[in-house]
A = this chain, B = another copy of it.
Amino acid sequence: MTPPDDALSESELREAWPALSNRERAEGLKVLPRAAAEDLFFTLGAREQERVLRDLPADERRTWLRVLPPDDAADLLQQVPAGPGREGLLALLDEPTRHEVEALLAYQQDRAGGLMSPRFGRLRPEMSIAEALTYLRQQTRVKVAASFYVYVLDPAQTLLGVVSFRDLLTAPAGARVQDVMSKDVVTVDSQLGQVEVARLFRSSRRLALPVIDKSRHMQGVVTADDIVDAVSEDATSDIQKLGGSEELGEPYLQIGFTRMFRKRAGWLSALFLGEMLTATAMGFFEKEIDKAVVLALFVPLIISSGGNSGSQATSLVIRAMALGEVKLRDWFRVVGREIFAGLALGATLGCIGFVRILLWQKAFHTYGQHYLLIGFTVGASLIGVVTFGTLAGSLLPFILRRLGFDPASASAPFVATLVDVTGLIIYFTTASAIMRGTLL
């Protein structure tokens, strides 16, 4: 419980934060009492921490960098391109931490190795309980969060077992560490992806898990709080891509306008170029439209239904993939489900569309003598377009992943664009088949 007036000024600064320039933020941190400033600094994402650091004088930069545990320092350094800038920051760390951070930088950020802290409590199996407790009292560089479990290692750093402080406290007199340690350790491979790590936390009900390499050498500890961040950042990136922009990588209100514009304009222009094919496709059917302008009236309705059903399918599949519920090899089962879903959804919309045309005809005589043909054309096209949209939306994430891209790039707008051209072709082809000799 910080004294009320500090808490106030911290909360005031927090409130004003998004509107402040980087320089003002760096100033703000200096004004706060050190503890409150550190609390605020810890809440920032790695990218923001890096920005604040950049605007501090060199000597202060060091104290702020050193306040971070090695895993967070590594995340921050990952924001700086490898080169003299990153080297300069690395040089501010003390010797042992620098080695730890350099080791972490070798891992990808979304692997267990990139999420772990290299600091943890360690014991030898042959120690007596009393020796172990004395030894642990002296280990001060261990991150508090990770120190509930203590790991038992042989001299080659191979993981043999785990003990909790509780085990040590309740051990019978004269016991050794190896007598009370649990050998039933849930371990994490350093190359494991964060989605799988998150699942291990759920199933193991532990707050920290040891990270090992292929030969069971202990590398570090991942804690559940690191996973909270990772899971949330992952979802943010997926949602932003799904909406059809690049990942912002910064809070919405804080990202600079030009940077945001570039991240949005890229995809939007690419989709626009793709969507131009609709003008070509429409041009191909210009004669039909000229003969029966009524056909043009339903174009937006038909293609948007394909886009909507594709958007549904793609977001369901992308999320199921991100959660590991659906794997690449499941594509055939997914296609099977989606063909039936598409047909059922298309039939539903087709019926609504058909009934709507009958009702309007009865009420306003909008569609002339061939209103039944128009109704059939719209109904049948909807079945085709919605089925195609559903199939395309569900398959595209598989294709992207198979080609090595992020499945979340199969955004709702991407799928809609893909479906629009096909939707037009399905619609006008159906119209030609049904209306030849009458309206066309």
Inter-subunit contact B235/A207 (CB<8 Å): no
Cβ of A377 under 8 Å from chain B:
no
**Chain A's interface: helix, strand, loop or mixed, by majority?**
helix
Residues of B within 8 Å of A265, CB to CB, are 344-345, 348
Counting chain A residues whose Cβ lies within 8 A of the other chain, the interface size class is 35 or more
- A66 adjacent to chain B (CB < 8 Å): no
Q: Which residue of B lies closest to A318 (CB)?
A: B239
**Cα separation A330 to B315 with both chains bound (whole Å):** 28
Closest B residue, CB atoms, query A366 = B283
Which A residues between 192 and 246 are near B, CB-CB below 8 angstroms? Answer: 198-199, 201-208, 223-225, 227-229, 231-232, 234-236, 238-240, 242-245
Contact of A344 among B145, B261, B290 (CB under 8 A): B261
Q: B206, B317, B413: which contacts A308 (Cβ < 8 A)?
A: B413
Q: How far is the CA of A334 from the CA of B261 in the complex (A)?
A: 14
Q: In the bound complex, what is the Cα–Cα distance between A320 and B260 (angstroms)? A: 14
Instruction: Verify if A299 is at the interface (C-beta below 8 Å from B).
Output: yes
* Residue numbers in B under 8 Å from A183 (CB-CB): 1
In the complex, chain B residues whose CB is within 8 Å of the CB of A244: 308, 311-312, 315, 412
Interface string of A319-339 (1 = CB under 8 A from B): 110010110001001100100
* In the complex, chain B residues whose CB is within 8 Å of the CB of A314: 243
> Residue A236 contacts which of B278, B317, B319, B341 (CB distance < 8 angstroms)?
B319
> Are A316's CB and B269's CB within 8 A?
no
The contact string, 1 if C-beta is below 8 Å from chain B, for chain A 260-273, is 11001101110111
> Which residues of A pack against B, CB within 8 Å?
1-2, 18, 39-40, 42-43, 69, 133, 136-137, 143-145, 147-148, 164-166, 169-170, 183-185, 198-199, 201-208, 223-225, 227-229, 231-232, 234-236, 238-240, 242-245, 248, 251-254, 257, 260-261, 264-265, 267-269, 271-273, 275-276, 278-279, 282-283, 286, 289-290, 293-294, 296-301, 303-305, 307-309, 311-320, 323, 325-326, 330, 333-334, 337, 340-341, 344-345, 348-349, 352-353, 356, 366, 411-413, 416-417, 420, 424
